[in-house]
Amino acid sequence: MRKHFLFLIAAVAVLISGTLMRSQDSITLLLINGKFWTVNPQQKEVQAVALRGNRIAAVGTTAEIMKLKSAGTAVLDLEGRRVLPGFDDSHVHFVQGGSALAGPQLRYTKSQQEFRDTLAEYASHKPAGTWITRGEWDHENWSPAVLPTHDLIDPVTKDWPVYVERLDGHMGLANSVAMKLAGVDKNTKDVPGGVIVRDAQGNPTGIFKDAAQGLIERVIPEPSEQEIVDAIRAAQTYANAQGVTSVQDMTVSPATVRVYQKMMHRGMLRVRIAADELMTHWQLQANAGVAADFGNEYLHIGGVKSFADGSLGSTTALMFAPYLDAPNTSGITSAELSNPEQMWRNLEGADAAGLQIATHAIGDKANDIVLGFYERLEREHGARDRRLRIEHTQHLLPADIPRFGRDHVIASMQPYHCIDDGRWAEKRIGPERAKTTYAFRSLLDSGATLAFGSDWPVAPMSPLMGIYGAVTRRTLDGKHPNGWVPEQKITVEEAVRAYTMGAAYASFDEKIKGSTEPGKLADFVVLSDDIFEIDPVKIADTKVVMTIFDGKAVMLPDCPGCKKLPSGLILRP
């Protein structure tokens, strides 16, 4: 018996010794001579990190970290570069964005004629009968800024059904072929939460806003599984080039979740995915026993997204006062909010099931209503760690700003929109309402958590441009060199935090990512310039030098450091 006991002790000792040796030997990569901004207030900056597989094993000085090197450890000298935790884009439409990369590039057309010519050129390379979609056009780039009509594009798209969306996704243009396939004509009735724009005779002009888009979208064929895979691969290649290692994908379909899962099992994911389905489908997740943050470090679900209104660019954001340039409207409620009691029942049911709730709200009235719903949830069902989110949070009543901090509502915002919308927003809402538009400073001061994202493909998925926008508020037309509503600027550190720890918190991931600390995931972005030291205006010119995902460098077209690593530490797009 004693001999058997001693044998067990010896065996355990060997196992422990072997584990310690493997632990030391398993240090896979040392990143040295960098300037790591950790987002950890207890240790804001370090020179080097050691990685064990896809986790951070240690942080410290280069001398300290070099002591962990063993025979199988790779070393990468960062040559003094600034390094941040991998960016986490808290609001994207990932598959739509990937699809848009292959669609007609209408976003930067400067006139109706250029819009038509670009669409005609794109269509000429497609087989007759192929649906032409996406586009992401912006009539605010045109002079005059008038909405296009089917008459503009019909002559050059006779052989193709066309439905191209405005960049905000809240309205689109259909040609006559598409409207005929959808059975839409003068006799088609308006739908709750949507607008069919009509001419003086009552005929549809081809513009469909918000819920009315469904009249056309219902006849557009669903993408195949391979088309979804191709879109995701294109999207994550673009994301990695921007230093993005995590995304929070809004309004995904069950088909997309299945594709994400397959790609994850095949080792094809190059970004971490938090996927939110539509609020109107909340029972599908609830019935399956899914709650918030269900999944793993690569893919998780458990969130649902609701809609309260439309967008400012489409004059469908729900405001308390009418639009200055469209005094006949103050926006519209979404299809969901057009029946507020049903919307409340959905919110209440999803909350009771333990799902995380995010609600799209852009106008000041929409934000006020959603805050009221959230306060009712807390009041009637008790306080808990819900991490309720408002997506966009663009236009707020001054009195509503403190409610975000008090009620622990996450403001999920997209700072690029600020420098884009700032070119023309005041013609719609005036300078007084603009004072609390994209109110980054006021929200932070209220104690709110900011989670920054892009809303891609509505805006470029570029956290660096988002940081530039939040810090400078210089509009894209150059007309506000000191910043549009400059009192709402925030610091570089605050903006970086919103793209890292703030975004991670918004998806229940702050324990595994969002900062550079031992035990957390090994996701990083290496920059060409130190954004904490340069003139903030030059942040717009800063480049991503390297993206590290899951402890490995993503091979990008311009990645000199990648060539210095062994093939086992390289990920192909």
- Please state, in angstroms and as integers, the Cα–Cα distance from residue 418 to each residue in 80, 137, 298, 487, following that order: 32, 18, 31, 13
Asked, as a colleague might, if the bond just before 463 is cis with ω within 30 of 0, I would say no
- Retrieve residue 395's tokens: 């236009």
For residues 30 and 69, the answer to whether their CB atoms sit within 8 Å is yes
CATH no. for 96-217 = 3.10.310.70
pLDDT of residue 382: 95
The 3-state DSSP class for residue 22 equals helix
Q: In the chain, where does the domain assigned CATH 3.10.310.70 lie?
A: 96-217
Euclidean distance between CA atoms 476 and 107, whole angstroms: 14
Q: Is 200 exposed, middle or buried (0-12, 13-18, 19+ CB in 10 A)?
A: exposed
Q: How far is CA 526 from the centre of its chain?
A: 20
Question: Residue 475's CB: how many other CB atoms inside 10 A?
Answer: 20
Which residues, other chains included, contact 420 with Cβ-Cβ below 8 Å and sequence gap of 6+? 459, 475, 476
For 233, phi then psi, to 5°, come to -65, -45
pLDDT of residue 14: 33
For residues 499 and 88, the answer to whether their CB atoms sit within 8 Å is yes
Rg (CA), the chain: 25
pLDDT of residue 100: 87
Question: Residue 455's CB: how many other CB atoms inside 10 A?
Answer: 25
For residues 489 and 495, the answer to whether their CB atoms sit within 8 Å is no
pLDDT of residue 25: 52
Tell me the residue type at 545: V
pLDDT of residue 270: 97
pLDDT of residue 34: 98
pTM over 0.75: yes
* Residue whose token pair is 């013609």: 427
- Retrieve residue 91's tokens: 């609001």
- Retrieve residue 133's tokens: 């979609």
- Retrieve residue 524's tokens: 């990083």
pLDDT by residue, tens only, the chain of 573 residues = 333 333 333 333 333 333 333 344 589 999 999 999 999 999 999 999 999 999 999 999 999 999 999 999 999 999 999 999 999 999 999 999 998 888 899 988 999 999 999 999 999 988 999 899 988 899 999 999 999 999 999 999 999 999 999 988 889 999 999 999 999 999 999 999 899 999 999 999 999 999 999 999 999 998 899 999 999 999 999 999 999 999 999 989 999 999 999 999 999 999 999 999 999 989 999 999 999 999 999 999 999 999 999 999 999 999 999 999 999 999 999 999 999 999 999 999 999 999 999 999 999 999 999 999 999 999 999 999 999 999 999 999 999 999 999 999 999 999 999 999 999 999 999 999 999 999 999 999 999 999 999 999 999 999 999 999 999 999 999 999 999 999 999 999 999 999 999 999 999 999 999 999 999 999 999 999 999 999 999 999 999 999 999 999 998 777 777 778 998 899 987
Using CA atoms in the order 510, 514, 516, 522, what is the torsion angle rounded to 10 degrees? 100
Tell me which H or E stretch contains 251: strand 244-252
Q: Is 217 exposed, middle or buried (0-12, 13-18, 19+ CB in 10 A)?
A: middle
According to DSSP, residue 212 is labeled G
The 3-state DSSP class for residue 21 equals helix
The 3-state DSSP class for residue 440 equals helix
* Residue whose token pair is 């610091």: 491
The 3-state DSSP class for residue 11 equals helix
Question: Residue 441's CB: how many other CB atoms inside 10 A?
Answer: 19
Q: In the chain, where does the domain assigned CATH 2.30.40.10 lie?
A: 2-80
Which residues, other chains included, contact 286 with Cβ-Cβ below 8 Å and sequence gap of 6+? 349, 350, 353, 355
Residue 137 bridge partners (DSSP):
166
Half-sphere exposure (Cβ direction) of 437: Cα atoms closer than 13 Å: 28
For residues 527 and 545, the answer to whether their CB atoms sit within 8 Å is yes
Provide the pairing of β-strand 552-554 with 544-549.
antiparallel
According to DSSP, residue 382 is labeled -
| CATH fold of the domain at 2-80 | Urease, subunit C; domain 1 (2.30.40)
Provide the pairing of β-strand 544-549 with 524-527.
antiparallel
- What secondary structure does DSSP assign to 353-406, as a single string? TT-EEEEEE-SHHHHHHHHHHHHHHHHHH-------EEEE--B--GGGHHHHHH
pLDDT of residue 169: 84
Query: HEC states along 147-166?
Result: CCCHHHHHHHCCCCCEEEEE
End-to-end CA distance of the chain: 58
Tell me the residue type at 540: A
